Structure 1
């Protein structure tokens, strides 16, 4: 297998491998996404106790961002199809850059196919995320505020929100590795280096960034507050029982 072929498929393979490996790593160390799932559950639990347009506004903002990126994916797909019809002009443009490489039409077309596949995967990820967030909004709006919401229902709604976020992150990663794929036009080795740097940057953001530490600290504070409230309830009940005891 030639180095040109390896460097062509390397960004796509890194994208697929990252999406498979990260869930396994999360079993050993919670990622930023896992920590934010705790906040999503707090959001749903609080939304079940209030009747206000606040939650609808938040959900609308999220869906707007996903919809924008899904539309961008369509434009990128159309752009790649347009380039397929202008391959000779692209070859002339690459030759005019005086890069120390010899491009063949087959190599360029194959690389465009790989980039097209990555944008298509991004489109499907974003549209699936948009659909799941839409389901989340329906489930959130279906909560009956006149009765208490069960923990099972809250968990189910939270999982739908988390699924939408996971597919949204998958689409974003496809964009990141697509940028690394563009480096192929400069050098055969550059996309490999760019993919390794992309993996390191994404891993740092997910597991070691300041955002990770901040979200973890907020989650710890929330757990401590919940434990304090749970411990205070029996104490208050005992105090009321003692005060009601006749002398």
Structure 2
């Protein structure tokens, strides 16, 4: 995808008007904002659960998963740390997409202008950095969900972590969409 992002910014140079490019970038920013907002809600829910650990402990006793309240707080804290990291990645991604948009807007309309190609390349690299931060945020969400398996005990944590790793490996390295992206264009 990094190569496609670079090619996109080079193609943008000749596209008039550049509304199409702005719309795509806006869509990417909306995705980061959505996931950032969702992470904030999850952080709030996790903090609420931690502040009411005794009630959570009561539910756990009904499920025969009895443990001291501090243990439940630590287990929730792990998921909160991971989701907070994801939140920070989404916010950074949103900011980088914003920088990309500003640089895209500064690309001269004259194809032969000295600043045209260098600025388009800068926009491409910022777009790639933003996408990288977004992907890291998504991975953080995946692992935060996996960390919730610890609420079921150590076996639950091992199973959910293994499932999370399997899902990530499959989606990032063995998915049908990756095969399509990697196909030769000849």
Relative to the length of structure 1, the TM-score reads 0.70
State whether structure 2 residue 97 is matched by structure 1 residue 133: yes
Cα drift, residue 150 of structure 1? 5.2
Cα drift, residue 118 of structure 1? 1.0
Cα drift, residue 199 of structure 1? 1.2
State whether structure 2 residue 136 is matched by structure 1 residue 170: yes
- SS class of match (1:71): helix
Q: Deviations over 1:159-211 (max 9, x none)?
A: 10011001101111111111111111223112112212211221122122211
User: Superposition pairs for residues 106-121 of structure 1, below 5 Å?
Assistant: 106-121=70-85
Q: Deviations over 1:25-70 (max 9, x none)?
A: xxxxxxxxxxx11111111111111122111111111111110110
Cα drift, residue 96 of structure 1? 1.4
In structure 2, C-alpha distance between the alignment counterparts of 1:116 and 1:37, rounded to whole Å: 30
Which residue of the partner structure matches residue 67 of structure 2?
Answer: 103
Highest RCO, 1 vs 2 (Cα 8 Å, sep ≥ 6): 1
Relative to the length of structure 2, the TM-score reads 0.92
Which residue of the partner structure matches residue 156 of structure 1?
Answer: 122
In structure 2, C-alpha distance between the alignment counterparts of 1:66 and 1:86, rounded to whole Å: 30
Of the three residues 32, 42, 54, the one matched with 1:88 is 54
Unaligned runs of 5+ in 1: 1-35, 225-247
Which residue of the partner structure matches residue 143 of structure 1?
Answer: 107
In structure 1, C-alpha distance between the alignment counterparts of 2:46 and 2:152, rounded to whole Å: 18
Q: Which moved more, 1:197-206 or 1:115-124?
A: 197-206
Bigger Cα Rg: 1
- RMSD in angstroms over aligned alpha carbons? 1.5
- SS class of match (1:76): helix
In structure 1, C-alpha distance between the alignment counterparts of 2:15 and 2:2, rounded to whole Å: 20
Cα drift, residue 213 of structure 1? 0.9
In structure 1, C-alpha distance between the alignment counterparts of 2:88 and 2:117, rounded to whole Å: 31
State whether structure 2 residue 155 is matched by structure 1 residue 189: yes
Q: Deviations over 1:108-130 (max 9, x none)?
A: 11112211111110110000000
**How many residues are treated as equivalent by the alignment?**
183
In structure 1, C-alpha distance between the alignment counterparts of 2:13 and 2:170, rounded to whole Å: 34
Unaligned runs of 5+ in 2: none
In structure 2, C-alpha distance between the alignment counterparts of 1:45 and 1:142, rounded to whole Å: 14
